[in-house]
Amino acid sequence: MKRMVVFGVVLFILTGCGLFKTEVRGSGILTSKEYDSSGVTAIDLSGGYELEYVPELGENVLLITTDDNLFEYLTVKKSGSTMEIFYKEGYELKPTDGIKIKTSLATINKFAIAGALSWSGTNLVKDSFTLEVSGAADVTLSGKIDTTLYDVSGSISITTPELTNRTLTLEVSGSVDATVRVTDQLGVNVSGSGAVDYYGNPTVSQDISGSVSIRRVGE
């Protein structure tokens, strides 16, 4: 509950509290639209989103679900190998049940979020993945990633004891609350506060400015 309160507060602040923007409330009629993500290796998000890894989706499909009247205020476009998703300037969206994005992540190896992101999924398998956060993120995943980087300015909650990482690096300016599993190398570079609990027997390197606890909690 505490995580969700923090998540909501940060999203409220980052979206400008609705000041000087036209507020658009969702109609309550949910609909989904598919977007072609062929050639996309990164997704750049601005706003508030719930992201779900769904391996059953087609390799080049990105599915967005929200209120039918909000799509005209949501820009989704390709810029080279990056898919950009953001609210149109001057508008503050108030969806009935969030803006949900589903993807198989077949070719995608990076997310960047300015705002708030909740990311979940099971049985994720990737060679490498980077999550860049300016705002707040809540990550709950299982599976296997060889090399993982979290680059955060703001706050992040990571609950991934069932996601095996060979190498994992946390670069955080702000707060972190993480439970992770790492086999070889764990890097914790934090300016701020929080706690990092880890499973496994990796080599641990740390550069801490602030108050951060790091502890091994199991195999």
Q: How far is CA 186 from CA 130, 174, 194, 198, 203, in A?
A: 15, 19, 16, 9, 6
Q: Which residues contact 132 (CB under 8 A, 6 or more apart)?
A: 110, 111, 112, 113, 151, 152
pLDDT of 59 reads 83
pLDDT of residue 106: 86
Number of neighbours of residue 114 by Cβ within 10 angstroms: 17
Asked whether the beta carbons of 116 and 12 are under 8 A apart, the reply is no
| pLDDT value of position 2 | 46
pLDDT tens digits in sequence order for the chain, 219 residues long: 445 444 555 555 544 444 578 999 999 999 999 999 999 999 999 999 999 999 888 888 999 999 999 999 999 999 999 999 999 999 999 999 999 999 998 899 999 999 999 999 999 999 999 999 999 999 999 999 999 999 999 999 999 999 999 999 999 999 999 999 999 999 999 999 999 999 999 999 999 999 999 999 999
**pLDDT value at position 21?**
87
What pLDDT sits at residue 206? 97
Specify the pLDDT at position 19: 56
Q: Which CATH architecture has domain 2-13+29-212?
A: 3 Solenoid (2.160)
**Torsion angle defined by CA atoms of residues 178, 180, 182 and 185, in that order, rounded to the nearest 10 degrees:** -10
| Global confidence as pTM | 0.88
